Amino acid sequence: MKIADTDLGEKPLFLAPMEDVTDVSFRYICKEYGADMLYTEFVSSDGLIRDAASSLKKLEIFDYERPIGIQIYGHIPGAMVAAALIAEAANPTLIDINFGCPVKKIAARGAGSGMMKYPDRMVEITKMVVNAVKLPVTVKTRLGWDDESKNIPELAERLQDAGIAAITIHGRTRAQLYKGEADWSLIGEVKKNPRIKIPVIGNGDINSPQAAAEAFERYGVDGIMIGRASYGRPWLFREIKHFLRYAELLPEPGISEKVALAKRHLKKSVEVKGERRGMLEMRRHLSAYFKALPNFREYRLKLVTENDPAQLIKTLDIIESVYENYQKN
């Protein structure tokens, strides 16, 4: 599969952009486990053109992350063009437009999946961004606003005609948020449309190797994007790749691998963000890595309150020792 001139190989796996999750350190870990394409956290067009420090910080990317896309969102055409030009200056592989985020504060003002109500404006913004930048432009969107307005088959054609290089479709409407099951039938319909020449990437409920294999085989998508299922489980990329190649399931990583992973992630977070912020922003990840362990409350409390990296490393070593013995017994 190729997006413009970027060859991602056969059946590539994409890490979905997730606010407060897909920062530099988490992308580093997912790349290590086999993600073929990464995305930054989504970035507000308003924040970028105001020169907001928090928004500009999200544009920081490294060569080892490539290929990587910067995703922007907004509802004002001029602001989206200006933001795309700022993002382009950070030299990503591509610019992605977020027409899929269902969060109320974003959708209510017509950004993210709120744009599903205004397909003409969505196409206008897309065309303006495509014409403004030299990099490939892609779009991430949903099936429609609600069950009565699932317009993605027609909309995908219009977005392709506007010049996008690929489309990612989440198999829910905005009204569903993240509830219920993702409907991949319309994603498959878009892919099977003979007018669609660009890659179609499917997204939604890919939480196991078997689900990924079914998505490729049944719906014919070119790639799969994985979001919430990778949080606390970045080894899912490795599991899927192994299953697609050998048709067998890998065992769950042992406690030693999870502890080693947590240490690498912590080191990268502190290295990139500094000790205080790096420690604070690791708390959500550390808790997620070990959420399946029994009788873990005492250690979880330490993981989410410790401010000293050295002490946190000691806690991780204790966790490894305690739960290795637990597993052996």
* Active-site amino acid positions: 101
Q: What DSSP string describes 201-226?
A: EEES---SHHHHHHHHHHH--SEEEE
* Cis peptide bond prior to 77, omega within 30° of 0: no
> Among 21, 29, 102, 30, which residue's Cα sits nearest to residue 58?
21
Which H or E run includes 7? strand 6-7
Q: Which amino acid is at 62?
A: F
Q: How far apart are CA 297 and CA 283, in angstroms?
A: 14
Rounded CA-CA distance 144/188 in Å is 15
**Gap between the Cα atoms of 288 and 258, Å rounded:** 11
Containing 39, the helix (H) or strand (E) segment is strand 38-39
Paired tokens of 42 = 């989504």
Q: What share of the chain is helix, strand, coil (3-state, %, to 5)?
A: 50, 15, 35
Element (H, E) at 130: helix 119-132
d(CA 14, CA 206): 11
Distance CA 257, CA 152 (A): 41
Phi, psi of 228 (to 5 degrees): -60, -30
* C-alpha distance from residue 298 to each of 31, 188, 304, 315, 328 (Å): 31, 46, 10, 11, 21
